[in-house]
Every structure is written in C-alpha cells, then in structure tokens.
Amino acid sequence: MAGDLPSDHGAGPSVPPPAGSWPPPQIPQPKFRPRPWLTSAVVATAAVAVAALVVALTRPTASHSSAVTTTAPTYTAAETGAAQKALCDTYKLVARAVEVDTNGTDKALARIADTNGAVMLDMASEAPALDTNHRDAAHALATAYGTVTALGSSAVASDADYRAALDDVIAKDAVMKKVCGGG
C-alpha cells in the first residue's frame, strides 16, 4: 500500500553517520590542454594592430598634402530666383496657417501651427542657392515661432514673456514679408 512503511523499518539506525566520516565527493578537474588556435588568434590580432599602427603613422595627413582650395559654389540668377520663390511660397503658406490657427480658441492648434511653421521655414531655408538675406529672415522667423511654442504654456512663462515672444514673431514676420516682396 501507499502508506506502508518500508520493510526494513526498525532493522537498524535510521540516522546517517556523522558528517566527518564521509569523504567529500571528488569533482574531476578538467585537464589543462594548450589551445594552439587561441595563441594563433592572439598573434594574428596583434600583427594586424601593429600593421594598422604603422600605416596610420606613415600615411600623410591632410595638412601635409598639396594645398587644395575649395570655392563656394556659384548659382545662376535663375537658381537663386527659384530658391527665393520656393522659400516665399512656403512662407505664405505658413503665414496663412499660423494666422488661421492662432486666431481661434484652441491653444493646441496654435502651438501645432507655430511648430509646423518653424519646421517648414527651416527646411525651405536650407536651399543652397538661397541668398543670405532670405535665409536669415526665414531662420529668425522660424526661431521666433519655436519660442512662442515653448512659451505657450502658462506654467512655463509669464504673460509678459509670452507677449514679448508674440511681439518678436510679429517683428520677424514683417521682415520676412518684406524680403518676400509683400510689404
């Protein structure tokens, strides 16, 4: 039966012998085997490192090479005009979106319009053929839009700080409008 005691119950001591009389089990130790592949790998890695060091130290640097002058690329009047038109078209789109979305009651839409406007102006101002006057005006307005977005929370800025940022946007917008021939 399942509950029966073993048949040798009572036939002898059921307590194991004292701990000191049993020898500890012997765990076989792995034998040391030389690994020639490991030695070869270390030697090969060291050789590659030394070779790379020698090449790096003996290769001439840019300051020792022949004098190479780079000139700024020049753009045709048509390329510059196209870049200016693209920037000004983007500005007009951004200005309209900001005007519509910031004159409502939804602060989130206003902040989104300012943020999108800043990003779009920054992207449009990266055209390489664009002149500095257009580029600087676009960057200044984009920065002003970003500042208004950041200060748009009453927990971040006081009303006076926010009003100053809005005044900066209005001033930068007037410059951009003038650069794009609208004012």
**Dihedral angle of Cα 147, 150, 154, 155, to the nearest 10 degrees:** -130
Q: Quote the percentage of the chain above a pLDDT of 70.
A: 79
Buried-state track 140-155, b at ≥16 Cβ within 10 A, e below 16:
bbbbbbbbbbebbeee
Instruction: Mark residue 167 as left, alpha or beta (left: phi above 0; alpha: psi -120 to 50; beta: remaining).
Output: alpha
Angle, CA of 154, 156 and 158, to the nearest 5°: 60
User: Rounded mean pLDDT of 3-9?
Assistant: 57
Q: pTM (2 decimals)?
A: 0.61
Is there a domain that residue 147 lies in?
yes
Domain that includes residue 143, residue range: 77-179
Domain for residue 68, yes or no?
Answer: no
**CA–centroid distance for 4 within its chain:** 73
Q: How confident is the model at residue 155 (pLDDT cuts 50, 70, 90)?
A: confident
CATH number for the domain harbouring residue 146: 1.20.120
C-alpha dihedral sign at 164, 166, 167, 173: positive
**pLDDT at residue number 156:** 83
Rounded Cα distance between 164 and 158, Å, is 10
pLDDT surpassing 60 at residue 66: no
Q: Is the CB of residue 146 less than 8 Å from the CB of residue 114?
A: yes
127 within some domain: yes
Residue 92 lies in a domain: yes
- Within a 10 A sphere around the Cβ of 91, how many other Cβ atoms? 25
Yes or no: say if 107 and 155 are a contact pair by the CB < 8 Å rule. no
Residue 103 lies in a domain: yes
**27 within domain boundaries:** no
Domain count, the chain: 1
> Within a domain: residue 102?
yes
Is 163 part of any domain?
yes
Please name the residue ranges forming H helices in 62-155: 77-102, 107-124, 132-150
Indicate the angle between helix axes 159-179 and 132-150, nearest 10 degrees: 160
- Model confidence over 34-61: pLDDT tens digits? 677 777 777 778 777 777 777 777 777 6
